[in-house]
Structure 1
Amino acid sequence: MQQRLRPGESLAPAFAAARVRLGLVALLFALAALGWWWTVDRMRGMDTGPWTALGSLGWFLGVWVVMMAAMMFPSVSPTIALYSRMTRQRSPLSPLLFAAGYLLTWTAAGVGAFVLAAVAARISGGALAWDRAGRWAAGVTLLVAAVYELTPLKDVCLGKCRSPLGFLLGAWRDGRWGALRMGANNGAWCVGCCWALMASLFALGVMSVAWMAVVAGLIAVEKTLPWRRVATWGTAAFLFVLGVLLLAVPDAVPALTVPGDGGMGGMTPMGAR
């Protein structure tokens, strides 16, 4: 009979490894802090609210990769620390390759998001403008994200993220190429866990540093809070309330840039061109 783990027990080996690999964890947090600083500077004045246009692919991917490092490195650092402690290769390059593989998967997700946004803007012919279907699409996106929080697929993906030891033992590959592959695999589970939260960020304003911080906080809470059900149900409730507010009274949503209210930045909403 399989023994049921107590809340937070599956995370214990990773947190223990983080205490041993403090230098590595500090480096990841420093990279995240640098990413936040660069993102705040780069995005100043560019938040035009829901469905902000993404610019060129090269520009968007540059911003996206830095955003992912800023948002994800703090919550994935215990997993990378545990990998560093378990690997027989004591080279400092191996955990960095793991982190690079993780970012590589999120980069691929960013390309997919860009392509989806470009296709939606072209097909909609301006229908995603805020005063047309944009507001409703944003609200529904948040409601769908709330529902996804309670699905079996979300539960499976989050389980992989919250059990670093189980993931590493099940996906272990030796060598530097193996480190890159394992990082990419871990990133894939993370994308499965967090894609709806990232879609919510697009619906609220992908260039909004405030909402970027909120989504990053929700991701960290889900991955590290000992009470897993409290975290997922709390996130679902938060997204549901946001979705309802966005549909009913968008002006009541804090830190939301409502297109057409003034203060528009240098980019235009998707589908408004």
Structure 2
Amino acid sequence: MHETDGRRSASRHHRVFLPVLAALIALAWVALWAWARSPYGRYLEHEDWTASGPAALLCRVVPAGDVVVPMVLYAAAWILMTAAMMLPTTLPLFNTFDRLTAQRPDHGRLLMLLGLGYMTVWGAFGLLAHALHSAVLSLLASVPTLAWHGWLIGAATIALAGAFQFSRLKYRCLEKCRTPLSFVVEHWRGHGQARHAFALGVQHGLFCVGCCWALMLLMFALGTGSLGWMLLLAAVMAIEKNVRWGRRLSTPLGVALLSWAVVLVATTHA
């Protein structure tokens, strides 16, 4: 009986779960591609939110619209970008949790809560990154001397991402992300299922942010609307987390980023 249930679970896993998750990831990428090529593609860059178009109209109509509308639009863009870039890196986690909870009647709801917890953490990180980005832009606008040397911020961001590749925090968090079965066994209690499924997603999201935050900040230096850079960074993070030799990618990537920052500084001063 258990063997039959196991075969049914495996069949459902390959027939339903994997195609659905793949479709969600593909849909996120297609939506980003369509958005970037639409008349509203500038919103992906988080610039000119209130200058013109529908966003400007909403800013005038909605109370405190100059703050609320950009934040909502930014959150939507960031969550879409995170879904496209980060969900592929978490496939082993969802794969493990799907198999573990396959026999539960609320299986689908638990999977959604796991994903919601994970995306909540990345959404919070995105809002913090947006606030920091806005503060930097305001500082540049108010201090002309800094504006002339604004390129230093991009170089510093790239250098920070490179240096972080050598940190102990990076490797500690990366190990948690690379061992999803151990992570789920350690944190999943199976009682109070809905609450614990969401908490499991939050906990894994925290470790995921812990190992990838510096690489994600590169999007602010490279352009948050650049699909090419998104694809490249998503591939790098997926390899680091999911491929057997992925951990060995961290050091050469750090060297490459630090070298890039040095070249930027040298060529700009030349």
TM-score range, shorter chain: 0.7 to 0.9
| Superposed CA offset, 1:63-86 (max 9, x none) | 111111111111211211101212
Summarize the alignment of residues 49-128 of structure 1 with structure 2, pairs less than 5 Å apart: 53=47, 55=49, 56-87=70-101, 89-90=104-105, 91-125=107-141
Please say if residues 52 and 202 of structure 1, whose CA atoms lie closer than 8 Å, have aligned partners that are also in contact. Answer: no
Normalising by structure 1, report the TM-score. 0.76
Identity %: 30
1:19 CA drift (Å): 9.0
Bigger Rg, structure 1 or 2: 2
2:202 paired residue among 173, 184, 203: 184
Flag structure 1 segments of 5+ consecutive residues without an equivalent. Answer: 1-16, 251-273
Match of residue 259 from structure 1: none
Match of residue 171 from structure 2: 155
**TM-aligned CA distance change 1:129 to 1:24, over 3 Å:** farther
Summarize the alignment of residues 123-202 of structure 1 with structure 2, pairs less than 5 Å apart: 123-125=139-141, 132-174=148-190, 175-202=193-220
Flag structure 2 segments of 5+ consecutive residues without an equivalent. Answer: 1-8, 50-69
Task: Report the Cα distance in structure 1 between the residues aligned to 2:72 and 2:128, rounded to whole angstroms.
Answer: 13
Task: Report the Cα distance in structure 1 between the residues aligned to 2:154 and 2:26, rounded to whole angstroms.
Answer: 29
**TM-aligned CA distance change 1:209 to 1:245, over 3 Å:** farther
Task: Report the Cα distance in structure 2 between the residues aligned to 1:103 and 1:125, rounded to whole angstroms.
Answer: 32
1:173 CA drift (Å): 3.7
Q: Which one has more relative contact order, counting CA pairs under 8 Å at least 6 apart?
A: 1
- The yes-or-no answer on 1:31 pairing with 2:24 is yes
Task: Report the Cα distance in structure 1 between the residues aligned to 2:221 and 2:80, rounded to whole angstroms.
Answer: 20
Runs of 4+ off more than 3 Å: 17-20, 45-49, 51-55, 126-131, 244-250
Q: SS where residue 47 of structure 2 aligns?
A: coil
**Greater helix share, structure number:** 2
Normalising by structure 2, report the TM-score. 0.77
**TM-aligned CA distance change 1:121 to 1:86, over 3 Å:** same
Task: Report the Cα distance in structure 2 between the residues aligned to 1:152 and 1:19, rounded to whole angstroms.
Answer: 40
Match of residue 55 from structure 2: none
Please say if residues 81 and 95 of structure 1, whose CA atoms lie closer than 8 Å, have aligned partners that are also in contact. Answer: no
**TM-aligned CA distance change 1:217 to 1:18, over 3 Å:** farther
Q: SS where residue 206 of structure 1 aligns?
A: coil
Amino acid at match of 1:137: I
Summarize the alignment of residues 214-229 of structure 1 with structure 2, pairs less than 5 Å apart: 214-229=232-247
